[in-house]
A = this chain, B = another copy of it.
Amino acid sequence: MNVSPKITPVGPSPLALAEMAHAIRFLSIDAILAAGEGHQGVPLGMAEIATTLYARHLKFDPADPTWPDRDRVVLSNGHGSMLLYSLLHLSGYRHISLDAVKRFRELGSPCAGHPEYDPPAGIETTTGPLGQGIANALGMAIAEAALNARFGDGLIDHCTWAFVGDGCLQEGLGQEVIQLAGHLRLNKLTFFWDDNAITDDGSTELSISENVAERFRVAGWHVQEIDGHDIAAIDAAIAAAKADSRPSMIACKTVIAHGVPRLEGQRGGHSGKLIAQDRADMAARFDWVGEIFDIPEAIATAWRETAAHGAKERAAWSQRLGLASDAARDEFARVHTRSLKDGWRETIHAFKERAAREGRAEFSIATSGEIAARLYDVLPEVVTACADLEAPTNHKRQLAAFTARDRAGRYLHCGVREHAMGSLANGIAAHGGVIPLAVTYLPFSDYERPAMRMAALMGLPTIFIFSHDSIGIGKNGPTHQPVEIIASLRAMPNMLVLRPCDAVEAAEAWEIALEHRTGPISLVFARQSLPQLRRDGCRENRSARGAYVLAEAEGGARRVTLLSTGSEVQIALAGRDILQGEGIPTAVVSMPCWSLFEAQDRAYRKAVLGEGCVRVAVEAAVKFGWERWIGEEGGFVGMSGFGASGPADELYRHFGITAEAVAAQARERL
């Protein structure tokens, strides 16, 4: 790989760096003492590591925190948040003012208990649930590699750094990350492992015996083992990490809560309550003259100067951007603002019109793959990750694989690692410039649910795509048949969940997904083939209102409203046929997305649901949550427990999810 011309930072002397590290320590414990709680273990233990990184190696510019080619820094051991806030404050990120630090953990402060995604403040991702941060970092490194392949070293060529605790590496998620990053040889990814031999329970010997460094080596990482308080060693290790062609893990032997005599190296060092005397003792230890929340001017100045080389790098980068072709510059700007290329909507509309016209009875997850295939050509920024289900989910299509040798590939074989897939997709979304899809079966969404929650919490536009959404999968049985999972996703704030009923709604779902930028979206598809229900190819996105009248009642005022989603809408329509045949005016409402419907005005909602009508819902899932739409006394046709192994049509009959049952539920209530 070519290396762009770079300004090599020199930075402060080791002596000054030691003092600068102490500034992190004191700022951190001053904030923790003020808050009355917090985790001092990480900032006190990793102060030298972080200082050396920022002062000597990190490419960053607090004057432009979201500069696309900045290095990314992730504090995966997020409980050590004061390490990050100290770094951001000291190096000059405006949002992390001294006032903000003084209000650590208070309502409204950007210095929350755990780092909360806030790029303008320099916080690249939300961390706290362990392992998520390093998985996000993996995604950032993938995004960097993909963008580097597209735009070249001149525009994108940066590193991703993560601070990592023992917990992150015990989590299965962390282990998935180790395997995958090693496999993909993401050479610009570096972990600093805070090897302090202490977790919340005490000695790491309580729960782990393996040689962690060896574990990384087995996975193909470049591994160095150093004293995490030795600035020269840290400096050399970072340089070696950057030079190596593999991802790097720097195992840093540290003393937890280093500097507080009462707690250092102890279990209580992690987050044991600090007292004023601890600060006094640490001040005595380090001959520290700064008062509370006061950083001696020389040290503060040295910290602010750490940004100088990054500012120069950014200036050089801007120059290179200016020299790039108009097309490259425009495209670079387009993907980094998540603007979509002209033609994307027309592509979806064309698909929609054709689907409505042709009316093929073969809607399924494969349809989503067909739509994706058309969009892949229009939107080169889309990268698709999938957890070893390429064939049955059909979203690879024309994409080449993203591999250790080919960074231009846009299909990421994640292996059977759903959790890492979801979290790295979040990291890609947080990085920007690349739109991530994450594809697996809906029953396995539970494996990546912690990542989905993080996307929702951060407001990241990660697109989650699921197949195998109900008992309709048939003979693979109840492990593979979601019944409660759609409800559990609907319950998640800021997570759009769409379950289209046919190819037209699928196209509409894709249109919504690409336009939605304030949070993640889950597109849920069946595996089995389903008929085409919508024969209107209208340009209006009817799914965007969440629910709409698919078939209005006929022969009089509506008496029954049948509500349904996805594969059961056809059953609702058949139920309507029965009821209409009996002279009961019945409407069918397709509700692909509850939360979008919830967001409509009351008048629209009432018109769709039908005032004074009997309401019956049909969905091959549990009833939980449906009372919102059918009321306490409404009818429900669906599942009351887990599924079974058998042919799909038999299962539908076995569990009583039939048009007859729908009609009966309505009749009972008339």
Contacts and interface: CB of A to CB of B under 8 A. Distances in A.
A446 B449 contact: yes
A273 to B, nearest CB: 12
A650 interface: yes
A173 B170 contact: no
Interface in A432-484: 443-444, 446-447, 449-450, 453-454, 456-457, 474-480, 483-484
B444 A129 contact: yes
B476 A113 contact: yes
Contacts of A386: 201
A112 B487 CA distance: 26
B176 A107 contact: no
A377 B464 CA distance: 48
A474 B113 CA distance: 9
Contact of A107 (B166, B170, B654): B654
Contact of A112 (B218, B488, B645): B645
A622 interface: yes
A128 B491 contact: no
Nearest to A174: B172
Interface stretch (A139-147, A342-350, A413-421): A413-421
Interface in A197-213: 199-202, 206-211
A480 B628 contact: no
Given A114-B645, A488-B491, A214 B207 contact: no
Contacts of A475: 35, 37, 105-106, 113
Given A388-B167, A450-B447, A479 B491 contact: no
Contact of A457 (B166, B174, B199, B642): B642
Contact of A415 (B199, B214, B390, B450): B199
Given A171-B447, A479-B78, A218 B210 contact: yes
A37 B527 CA distance: 15
Contact of A214 (B180, B218, B417, B490): B218
Contacts of A392: 200
Contacts of A443: 129
Q: What number of copies of this chain does the assembly contain?
A: 2
A295 to B, nearest CB: 24
Contacts of A175: 172, 175-176, 179
B113 A477 contact: yes
Interface in A361-401: 386, 388-392, 401
A130 B415 CA distance: 12
B415 A207 contact: yes
A490 B490 CA distance: 13
Contacts of A415: 167, 170, 199, 206-208
Interface string A212-252: 00110011100000000000000000000000000000000
Contacts of A152: none
A447 B129 contact: yes
13 contacts: A109-B645, A114-B476, A114-B480, A116-B478, A128-B476, A170-B417, A183-B207, A200-B392, A201-B388, A210-B220, A484-B492, A493-B622, A624-B625
Given A446-B450, A487-B487, A631-B631, 5 more contacts: A131-B172, A183-B207, A183-B208, A207-B413, A454-B479
Interface of A: 35, 37, 78-79, 105-109, 112-114, 116, 126-131, 166-168, 170-176, 179-180, 182-183, 199-202, 206-211, 214-215, 218-220, 386, 388-392, 401, 413-420, 443-444, 446-447, 449-450, 453-454, 456-457, 474-480, 483-484, 487-488, 490-494, 622, 624-625, 627-628, 631-632, 639-642, 644-647, 650-651, 654
- Interchain residue pairs A-B with the least CB separation, the first 10: A172-B172, A107-B646, A207-B415, A175-B175, A128-B479, A112-B645, A167-B416, A488-B488, A113-B477, A105-B475
